[in-house]
Amino acid sequence: YSVRRSIRDAITRYTDKRYSGFLNAILIGERTQLDSSITDDFVRTGTVHVIAISGLNIALVAGIFLMIFRVFGIKKKLNLILTSFAIVFYCFVAGSSPPVVRATVVFVIASFGFYLNRESDILNSLSLAAFLILLANPKELYDPSFQLSFGSVISIVLFAPKIEDLFGKRTNYIIKSAAVSIAASIGVFPI
């Protein structure tokens, strides 16, 4: 909490008030300083996920640490272990919401699998992430954030490749992006 508070205070102190709320929201998940009109704009445009800490943030932070450690010449296995520790720390700083815990557990399991020269299974990793979250707080099962987070990712894993297969060998970035969006929509529609 002290690290989170220090980051929030530094952002508030060194950035303009118009931007500090947005930066706090996307970096540490602190939305209390975010202007309500900005939040309403994100909700109205369907992009509210941008101001919510999620797997994307974990991927970006992991990418930054992986790159920094690589620049310092740290070997890949040690790089992944150090990055895993950094991601776990960031998970706590960012508030440990279900999407953040999910992404953190999946990254750590994949890193650990690489360290052991074993391939990790994404569905098993997601199951372990859900188990750990529910072990800490069983009421999370009824939280829409938990349901939407896991529903969308599981649906992406299961359906996106099948949707891409409908286009044969003509898959490109646009088709892959559309397949992921359609698959995520399939997973969250019932919720």
Q: What are the 10-residue block averages of pLDDT along the chain, 191 residues in total?
A: 87 84 81 80 78 81 93 92 94 85 86 82 85 89 86 91 84 84 90 85
In this prediction, residue 79 carries a pLDDT of 93
Distance, in Å, from the CA atom of 1 to the CA atom of 23, rounded to the nearest integer, reads 17
Would you say 30 and 51 are in contact if contact means Cβ atoms under 8 Å apart? no
In this prediction, residue 67 carries a pLDDT of 95
Beta-carbon count within 10 A of 163 CB: 19
Distance, in Å, from the CA atom of 73 to the CA atom of 55, rounded to the nearest integer, reads 27
In this prediction, residue 144 carries a pLDDT of 86
In this prediction, residue 136 carries a pLDDT of 85
Would you say 27 and 54 are in contact if contact means Cβ atoms under 8 Å apart? no
pTM value is 0.73
Would you say 129 and 105 are in contact if contact means Cβ atoms under 8 Å apart? yes
Distance, in Å, from the CA atom of 85 to the CA atom of 66, rounded to the nearest integer, reads 12
In this prediction, residue 86 carries a pLDDT of 94
Nearest alpha-carbon partner for 152 in 124, 120, 121, 126:
126
